[in-house]
Amino acid sequence: MKFLLAQINPVVGDLEGNAKKIFFTASKASSTSCDLVLTPELSLWGYPANDLLLKKNLINKQYQILDQLALDINKKFRNLSIIVGVAEIINDSFFPNLYNSIALIEHGEWKIIARKIILPTYEVFDEKRYFRSGEKVSVLTKKINNKTWRLGFTICEDLWVNKNIEGRGIHKKNPINDLKLKKVDILVNLSASPYTFKKLELRSKVSSFAAQYLQVPLIYVNQIGANDNLIFDGNSFILDKNGFKIKQLKSFSEDLSSWDIEQTKPLKNKFENSEMSSIFDALVLGVKDYAKKCGFKTALIGLSGGIDSALVSALATAALGSNNVYCVSMPSKWSSSHSKSDAKELARRLKINFNSIPIENLMNSFEESFIKTIDFEMAEITNQNIQSRIRGTLLMALANQEKHLLLSTGNKSELAVGYCTLYGDMNGGLSVIGDLYKTNVFKLCNWLDSEDSINHRKSYMLDTSGDLIGENIRTKAPSAELGPDQLDTDSLPPYSILDNILKGIIEEKKDLKQLEEDGHAKELVLKIISLIKKAEFKRKQAPPILKLSSQSLGTDWRVPIAISY
C-alpha cells in the first residue's frame, strides 16, 4: 500500500481553490502510483475557518464541490482514493450542527469515514463553538493488492491524550485507548497544528507514545501556511511501530511526498532546525502568507534605527523580497545621529527602499496650535505620544496611498506593559514580533548576524557578506528617543528582569507569592501587574499578533479591560 502525504497550504474559505489544490495532489499521487492521498484537517476549508462555518451557503457549496471533485478525480485518476477534511452537517435541531470530519473520495463518490472526538477549547482553539464531538473511533478497511488493511483515523487533538506529555490533564475520552481494541494496522492523524515554541518536540512525543502503545506505524499529516495570526509549520512525518521516525517532510513549506508501507528503515540523518532558525522561518512565513492572502504585494515599516524595526525589516525582506519593502525614517529633534545613520545603513544592507521624513516641524506645529488656540502646553508624556502619533499618521497615509501593508514593530515586552502608543507605533495591519520578548529579539538578531544563520540567509537571498542587523543596532541601549537622552530603563527594569517576570505572569500563570519565591521583589512585581492591567485597552486595539508562544497577547489572551482583582 502506498500513500501520498499532501502537506498543503489552503486558503481559509476558498473552497474552490482548495479543491483545485487537492485535485493537483491527485495528479502527483497518480504519477507516483500511490493508492491513497492524505490531506490535513479541514483541508477543504483551511484552518481555522471560524465563523465562516456558520454560513449555510458555504456549507451547501462545500457539498457541491465535494460532488464535483469526486467526479473529476474518478474521470482522470480512476482507482485513486483521497482523504479530505470537511465540515459535516448534522440534520437535527440542535446547535452546533457540524462535525469536524474526514471524507473519503473514491469511485466518483464520497462518504464520511471519521469524526473528530476531542474538540480543543484552549489557547486559540474554540472548536465547541462550531462542532460536536464524534462518538466513536473510526477504522477504514481497504483492500489493496489482495491484502486487507485496517486504518485507524484520528484528527489532530484526538492524538493528544497523554497528560504526562502535553500537560493539560486527562480528556474524558481517549481515542488511542479505544483504537487498541480495534486492532488497526496503521494509525493516521490529520492535523492543523499551529507552530509554537517546543511544539515539534511535543508532537513527536505524543505521536511516539501512540505508535508504541498501538504497536503500529503512525502517519502524521499537518497543514502548513499562515492564516491570520496562526502559523502552521508542516513538519509531517511517519513513525514505525516503535516510535522511531522513518520519514520527515519539510518545515514551513508545502510538500507532497509518497511512502510505501514496506519502507520501514529509520532515518539516518536527523537534521533538526535550531530554535532561532525555526522562529525566523515561522515569522517569515507569517508575514509572507498574511500579505499574500490579504492581497498585499508590498510592506511598509517605520525604521527607527532600533533593534525591533531592524528585525521586522529583515523578516519582511526575507518574506517579500527587497524590492517590495519600503522603510521610512522619521527623526525628531531627540533622534540621535547614530539612530539616523544606523537606519540608513540597515536599509543599504537589506537593499530595501528607504526615505526619511523629519517630523520636527510637524511637532512644532502641534505645539504652537495647542498653545495658541486653547492655551494648552503638552506635558512630557503627552509630548512623547504626539511624536509617536505623528509618525503613525504619516505611515498610515503612505500605506493607504501606495497600498502597502504597514507592519507594526512592537515587541511582547512593550505590548505587555503598555510601553507603546495607541494610534502611534501600534499602527499597522500586522504585529510581526508582538509575541517575542525583547530579550528574544536580541537573541534572534544575534543569531541572524552569526555564521549559524548563513545558510538561512542564502535561502532567503539575504546578504551573507557580513552583519545583517549590524553591531551598532545590536549593542545600543534600547530607547524610544522621544525625549532628551531617554532610555527604556528610565521607565522599566532591565529587560532581562522584566521579561522573566512577564513570562512568569503571562505564560506560566504565576501569582505574586510564586514570583516572590522566584526571587523577584514584591514592589516590582506589583508594578508590572498594574502596568499589564492598565494596558489591556491598548492590546484590544492592536493589530493581529503572529503567535509563537503558548500564550500570546492576541486572540488567545482573553482578559477583560474593566477589571479589579
More reliable by pLDDT, 381 or 117: 117
- The verdict on 450 and 514 lying in the same domain is no
List the grid coordinates of 239: 513513525
User: Is residue 272 situated within a structural domain?
Assistant: no
- The verdict on 507 and 455 lying in the same domain is no
Examine the fold and report which residue of 261, 286, 310 is the final residue of a domain before the chain moves on: 261
Examine the fold and report which residue of 261, 293, 309 is the final residue of a domain before the chain moves on: 261
232 forms beta bridges with: 194, 225
- The verdict on 228 and 152 lying in the same domain is yes
**CA-CA distance, 347 to 178, in Å (whole number)?**
58
The mean pLDDT value for 437-446 works out to: 97
Report angle CA 183, 184, 190 to the nearest 5 degrees.
Answer: 145
Q: What is the mean pLDDT of the chain?
A: 93
pLDDT above 90 covers a percentage of the chain that reads 83
**CA-CA distance, 256 to 25, in Å (whole number)?**
7
User: Is residue 43 situated within a structural domain?
Assistant: yes
List the grid coordinates of 133: 464531538
DSSP one-letter code for 251: B
- The verdict on 64 and 183 lying in the same domain is yes
List the grid coordinates of 112: 464520511
* Single-letter code of the amino acid located at 221: V
- The verdict on 112 and 211 lying in the same domain is yes
Classified as helix, coil or strand, 38 is: strand
- The verdict on 175 and 218 lying in the same domain is yes
pLDDT over threshold 80, residue 339 = yes
The mean pLDDT value for 238-243 works out to: 96
The string of pLDDT tens digits covering residues 108-152 is 999 999 999 999 998 999 999 999 999 999 999 998 888 999 999
- The verdict on 162 and 307 lying in the same domain is no
pLDDT over threshold 70, residue 271 = no
Query: 321 pLDDT band (50/70/90 cuts)?
Result: very high
- The verdict on 201 and 298 lying in the same domain is no
Query: 264 pLDDT band (50/70/90 cuts)?
Result: confident
The mean pLDDT value for 32-41 works out to: 96
Please pick, among 21, 34, 116, 414, the residue that the annotation labels catalytic. 116
User: Is residue 548 situated within a structural domain?
Assistant: no
pLDDT over threshold 90, residue 487 = no
- The verdict on 322 and 465 lying in the same domain is yes
User: Is residue 552 situated within a structural domain?
Assistant: no
* Single-letter code of the amino acid located at 504: G
CATH code for the domain in which residue 50 is found: 3.60.110.10
- Residue 34 falls in the annotated catalytic set: no
- The verdict on 256 and 294 lying in the same domain is no
Q: In what helix (H) or strand (E) does residue 205 lie, and over which residues does it extend?
A: helix 199-214
The string of pLDDT tens digits covering residues 470-482 is 999 999 888 876 7
**CA-CA distance, 376 to 368, in Å (whole number)?**
9
CATH code for the domain in which residue 405 is found: 3.40.50.620
List the grid coordinates of 126: 474554540
- The verdict on 497 and 472 lying in the same domain is no
List the grid coordinates of 426: 501600534
| Of 115, 186, 126, nearest in space to 154 by CA | 115
| Of 444, 423, 422, 424, nearest in space to 433 by CA | 444
The mean pLDDT value for 400-424 works out to: 96
User: Is residue 15 situated within a structural domain?
Assistant: yes
Say how many domains are in the chain.
3
| Preceding omega of 493 cis (within 30 degrees of 0) | no
pLDDT of residue 406: 98
The mean pLDDT value for 42-49 works out to: 97
The mean pLDDT value for 186-202 works out to: 95
Contacts 24+ apart (CB under 8 A), 461-468: 461/321, 462/314, 462/317, 462/318, 462/350, 463/349, 463/350, 463/351, 466/349, 467/349, 468/314, 468/349, 468/350
User: Is residue 151 situated within a structural domain?
Assistant: yes
Residue-number span of the structural domain to which 178 is assigned? 2-261
pLDDT of residue 107: 94
End-to-end CA distance of the chain: 59
**CA-CA distance, 117 to 40, in Å (whole number)?**
16
pLDDT of residue 14: 97
- Residue 268 falls in the annotated catalytic set: no
pLDDT of residue 105: 97
pLDDT of residue 375: 80
DSSP secondary structure string for all residues of 206-235: HHHHHHHHHTS-EEEEE-EEEETTEEEEB-
pLDDT of residue 371: 83
Please pick, among 34, 156, 327, 445, the residue that the annotation labels catalytic. 156
Classified as helix, coil or strand, 110 is: strand
The string of pLDDT tens digits covering residues 347-378 is 999 999 999 999 999 988 988 888 888 888 77
> What are the backbone dihedrals phi and psi of residue 296, each rounded to the nearest 5 degrees, phi first?
-100, 140
Please pick, among 21, 34, 41, 420, the residue that the annotation labels catalytic. 41
pLDDT of residue 537: 95
pLDDT over threshold 90, residue 58 = yes
pLDDT of residue 378: 76
List the grid coordinates of 255: 510538500
The mean pLDDT value for 213-225 works out to: 97
pLDDT over threshold 80, residue 527 = yes
| Residue 133 near residue 120 (C-beta atoms within 8 A) | no
pLDDT over threshold 80, residue 467 = yes
User: Is residue 460 situated within a structural domain?
Assistant: yes
The mean pLDDT value for 6-10 works out to: 98
- The verdict on 9 and 109 lying in the same domain is yes
pLDDT above 70 covers a percentage of the chain that reads 99
User: Is residue 283 situated within a structural domain?
Assistant: yes
- Residue 536 falls in the annotated catalytic set: no
More reliable by pLDDT, 268 or 551: 551
| Residue 349 near residue 338 (C-beta atoms within 8 A) | no
